[in-house]
A and B are shown apart, each in its own frame.
Chain A
Amino acid sequence: MKDDEEKIFRVSDKLVMGVVGDSGDTTQFAEYIAKNIQLYKMRNGYELGPTAAANFTRRNLAEYLRSRTPYFVNILMGGYDKENGPELYFMDYLASSVKVPFAAHGFGGYLSLSIMDRYHKKDLTEEQAYEVLQKCVKEVHKRLFVSLPNFQVTVVNRDGIKVLPVIDSSSSK
C-alpha cells in the first residue's frame, strides 16, 4: 500500500493545504483551489492572504456540497500573513471553517487532539512544535493498528514554505 502519498499541497508562496478524503476528490479539489489562487495572483499582482484563501476554499466546498457533485474532502489550511502572522484553518467536507491554534482530521485526530491540547502553548518554537507532532505520531502508531508509518511535515513562516524531516515509525522507538 502506498505510504508516501503527498497530501500537503503548495497553494502559493506562503500557503499550504493538507487534504484528505476520497481519492480523486482530494487532488482535484486541491489543484482547483491552488490554480484559482495562482490566477488571482497573476491577475492582480498580489497574493490572497490565508483568511481570504480559506474563505474562498470554504465557499467552493459549500457550493459544491449541495450540487450533484460534492467534494468529500477534509482540509487543514495553513498560511502566513504579513499583518496577522501565521494562521491555521480547519475545514471539513460539510463546508465548515474555523481558525484554530491546532487541529487534526481522521481517527488519529481523536488521540492527537488531546495531546496537542495538553502540550500546545502560544508562541511555541518550531522545534517545540515538531516535538509535539512527534508525540502525536508516536501515539497514533501505538494505538491504531491500521496506521501508516510516514508523516510528512511542512512549515510555513515569514520566509515561505519549508519541508522538515518525515516523522516515521522509528520515532516511536
Chain B
Amino acid sequence: MARRYDTRTTIFSPEGRLYQVEYAMEAISHAGTSLGILATDGILLAAERRNTNKLLDEVFFSEKIYKLNDDMVCSVAGITSDANVLTNELRLIAQRYLLQYGESIPCEQLVSWLCDVKQAYTQYGGKRPFGVSILYMGWDKHYGYQLYQSDPSGNYGGWKATCIGNNSAAAVSSLKQEYKENETTLAEAQALAVKVLSKTLDMTKLTPEKVEMATLTRKDNKTIIRVLTSSEVEKLITDFEKSEAEAEAAKKQPPKS
C-alpha cells in the first residue's frame, strides 16, 4: 500500500512520511560504523573499515575519514560513492568561504550549508537522497571543539558523542552510559572508542586493519589533525583486551566476605 508513494522522493506519504529518506537511513544502518567523541582537549573520530581484502592496493590513506579543511575532518557511513560526492562538495564549500572571507569556515556553517544541499534532494529535482550520514569534527574560534552529525534528510545536530552506521543505536546507548561530559580526555576517549567499536563490529574480533581513527587537537594556535598509525591502533586494542580480561577475572573472583 505504501509502495504507491515510494517512487518519487518529493512526495509525502498519507501518514506524512518521506519514504525515500527513511529508506536511505535504512541503507546507512547496514554500513560500517563510525563514531565520534568530544573530549576536553580534542576530538576523535573512529570508523570501521569494511574493505579489508588483502588484494586491495592501498591508494587512499583512509577509507572513511576525510580532511575537509585545515580545521575540520569528517567521517562517513553509507554508500561510498555518494559520500565521495558530498565530501568533495564540503571541500568546495569550505574553500569558497576561505576565498571570500580570508579565514576558515566556522564548523556549523559548513555543516548547515551541506545540509541545505541534502535537503534539496528531498524536496525537488526528482532525484533520490544521498545515502550517507556524516560525522564532522572541527575547531573554530567561536565555539572551540565541535562534533556534528548530519543525515540524508538534511537534519543536523551538535553532539558530545555519537555513532552512525551498523549497530549505531547500541553504540549510542553505550556511549551515553560511559561518556563523562567535561571529564573525558582524548586518551580516555580513544579507549572508549575502541571499547564501543568492539561491541558494534558483529562477532568479529578487533584488528588494526579494521579500525581507522583520527584526532583533532589545537596547539600554538594551529589545528593538528592526525590519523593514527596501525601500531597506535594496535596498542589501543591490546590495552582494551587487557582491561577486558582483567574485568572478566575480577568478576570470576568470589566476592570477599
Listed in ascending order, the chain A residues whose CB lies under 8 Å from chain B are 44, 46, 48-49, 51-52, 54-56, 59, 83
Complex-state Cα separation, A56 to B105, whole angstroms: 13
B102 touches A51 (CB 8 A): yes
B142 touches A52 (CB 8 A): no
Contacts of A52 on B, CB cut-off 8 Å? 101-103
Listed in ascending order, the chain B residues whose CB lies under 8 Å from chain A are 99-103, 106, 108-109, 141-142
Contacts of A59 on B, CB cut-off 8 Å? 99-100
Complex-state Cα separation, A110 to B101, whole angstroms: 31
B100 touches A55 (CB 8 A): yes
A55 touches B102 (CB 8 A): yes
B101 touches A48 (CB 8 A): yes
Complex-state Cα separation, A56 to B102, whole angstroms: 8
B100 touches A56 (CB 8 A): yes
B101 touches A55 (CB 8 A): yes
Closest to B142 in A: A46
Question: Which among B99, B100, B101, B108 has the highest number of chain A CB atoms within 10 Å?
Answer: B101
Closest to B141 in A: A83
Complex-state Cα separation, A59 to B99, whole angstroms: 8
Complex-state Cα separation, A51 to B108, whole angstroms: 20
Complex-state Cα separation, A46 to B108, whole angstroms: 12
Give chain A nearest CB distance to B12 CB in angstroms: 28
Contacts of A83 on B, CB cut-off 8 Å? 141
B101 touches A56 (CB 8 A): yes
B103 touches A51 (CB 8 A): yes
B101 touches A44 (CB 8 A): no
Give chain B nearest CB distance to A158 CB in angstroms: 17
Complex-state Cα separation, A46 to B101, whole angstroms: 14
Complex-state Cα separation, A51 to B101, whole angstroms: 8
Complex-state Cα separation, A51 to B104, whole angstroms: 12
Given contacts A49-B103, A52-B102, A55-B102, 7 further A-B contacts (CB under 8 A): A44-B109, A46-B106, A46-B142, A54-B102, A55-B101, A55-B103, A56-B101
Contacts of A54 on B, CB cut-off 8 Å? 102
Complex-state Cα separation, A52 to B106, whole angstroms: 12
Complex-state Cα separation, A101 to B38, whole angstroms: 41
A-B contact pairs, 16 of them (CB 8 A): A44-B106, A46-B106, A49-B103, A51-B102, A51-B103, A52-B101, A52-B102, A52-B103, A54-B102, A55-B100, A55-B101, A55-B102, A55-B103, A56-B102, A59-B99, A83-B141
Closest to A54 in B: B102
